[in-house]
């Protein structure tokens, strides 16, 4: 067995690293993307396990072509490192790296977990091998906590939008909290496929009154326009897109709606918040997790 690793900038999103990993389909037996030292602000390390050695130029060609197609920014030089690895049950080993964990009453686990969901907790089955957001990241934890805070305050949204859904974990969690209609949107077809899979394995019904997944470009997506206004919007993306979409987000938001924004480093939160405040949204709370901020906002009635 052989391992090839590649170090990439911290600014890449989980979706982008997943796309780059999957670009080697057919060349590798397994792959993963992780942060150095498991720190949310550290550079990414992508690893591929191969049964036979793969030339770096072959991997480089796959990755650079995929990055160009998806508009992913890469360093000018891709420095691959190759090494032999000992024989081991890599599937079992990788599963052990993602043990189940809890965020409040949410119990998040993978398909390899064979014990039941603890009494009194809400199960969320998310497979880290395919998910763009398995729940461990500080941004996802912040969004889950913000939803729990709203639930504790008696909020009961009737129309929920998860913009940039990724793995679908937030959309599934919202449906399990409130059993209200949830629309999950992403501009990446693979993310939508993953979200649909997680909807199904979590036994969330499909349909307009339950959870719908759609692929499209943000708030211009047809179903978004048909089902607006929304009284809860979730957007766990990146600061740049969050600022760019502020006007479009507010335009599909109902009066007295709640908005949860994440994917924001602590030092970026003030900048993102100021953009939304200029659009009339009120700042209710900031939740901090491991250097990341989640903003809970409200659109006041005019």
Check which CATH number belongs to the domain holding 234 and give it.
3.40.50.150
- Are 172 and 294 contained in the same domain? yes
Final residue in a domain of this structure, among 80, 96, 112: 96
Asked whether the CA dihedral 54, 55, 56, 62 is positive or negative, the reply is negative
Shortest CA distance to 94 belongs to which of 147, 13, 2, 29? 29
- Are 26 and 162 contained in the same domain? no
- Are 234 and 282 contained in the same domain? yes
Final residue in a domain of this structure, among 96, 120, 150: 96
- Are 275 and 152 contained in the same domain? yes
pLDDT at residue number 128:
56
Residues in the chain: 302
The token duo for 169 is 């974990």
- Are 203 and 253 contained in the same domain? yes
pLDDT at residue number 167:
87
Residue ranges of the chain with per-residue pLDDT less than 50: 129-132
Asked whether the CA dihedral 172, 70, 47, 27 is positive or negative, the reply is positive
Give dist(CA 55, CA 110) in Å, integer: 33
- Are 7 and 88 contained in the same domain? yes
Q: The tokens 């780059």 sit on which residue?
A: 20
Q: In this structure, is residue 244 part of a structural domain? A: yes
- Are 143 and 288 contained in the same domain? yes
pLDDT tens profile 130-156: 434 555 577 888 999 999 999 999 999
pLDDT at residue number 131:
38
pLDDT tens profile 13-50: 877 888 888 888 778 777 788 888 767 678 999 988 88
Q: What are phi and psi for residue 287, nearest 5 degrees?
A: -110, 130
- Are 69 and 141 contained in the same domain? no
Shortest CA distance to 276 belongs to which of 302, 258, 291, 292? 258
**Domain count along the chain:** 2
Q: In this structure, is residue 259 part of a structural domain? A: yes
Final residue in a domain of this structure, among 78, 96, 114: 96
Give dist(CA 216, CA 185) in Å, integer: 7
- Are 149 and 74 contained in the same domain? no
- Are 46 and 141 contained in the same domain? no
By residue range, what is the domain housing residue 154? 133-299
């Amino acid at each position: 067995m052989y391992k090839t690793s590649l170090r990439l900038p911290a600014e890449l999103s989980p979706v982008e690293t997943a796309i780059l990993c999957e670009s080697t389909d057919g060349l590798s037996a397994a792959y993963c993307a992780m942060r150095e030292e498991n720190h949310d602000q550290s550079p990414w390390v992508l690893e591929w396990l191969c049964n036979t050695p793969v030339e770096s130029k072959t991997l480089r060609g796959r990755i650079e072509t995929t990055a160009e197609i998806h508009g992913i920014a890469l360093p000018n030089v891709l420095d691959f490192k190759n090494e032999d690895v000992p024989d081991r049950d890599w599937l079992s080993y990788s599963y052990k790296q993602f043990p189940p964990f809890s965020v409040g009453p949410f119990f998040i686990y993978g398909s390899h977990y064979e014990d039941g969901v603890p009494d009194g907790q809400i199960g969320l089955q998310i497979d880290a091998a395919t998910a763009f957001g398995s729940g461990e990241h500080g941004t996802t934890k912040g969004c889950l906590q913000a939803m729990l805070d709203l639930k504790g305050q008696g909020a009961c949204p009737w129309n929920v939008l998860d913009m940039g859904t990724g793995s679908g974990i937030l959309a599934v969690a919202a449906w399990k909290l409130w059993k209200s209609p949830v629309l999950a949107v992403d501009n990446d077809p693979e993310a939508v496929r993953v979200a649909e899979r997680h909807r199904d394995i979590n036994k969330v019904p499909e349909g307009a009154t339950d959870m719908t997944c759609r692929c499209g470009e943000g708030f211009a997506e047809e179903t978004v326009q048909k089902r607006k206004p929304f009284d809860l919007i979730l957007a766990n993306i990146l600061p740049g897109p969050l600022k760019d979409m502020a006007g479009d987000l507010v335009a599909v938001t109902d009066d007295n709606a709640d908005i949860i924004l994440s994917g924001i480093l602590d030092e970026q939160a003030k900048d993102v918040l100021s953009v939304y405040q200029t659009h009339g949204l009120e700042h209710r709370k900031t939740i901090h997790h491991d250097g990341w901020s989640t903003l809970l906002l409200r659109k006041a009635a005019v």
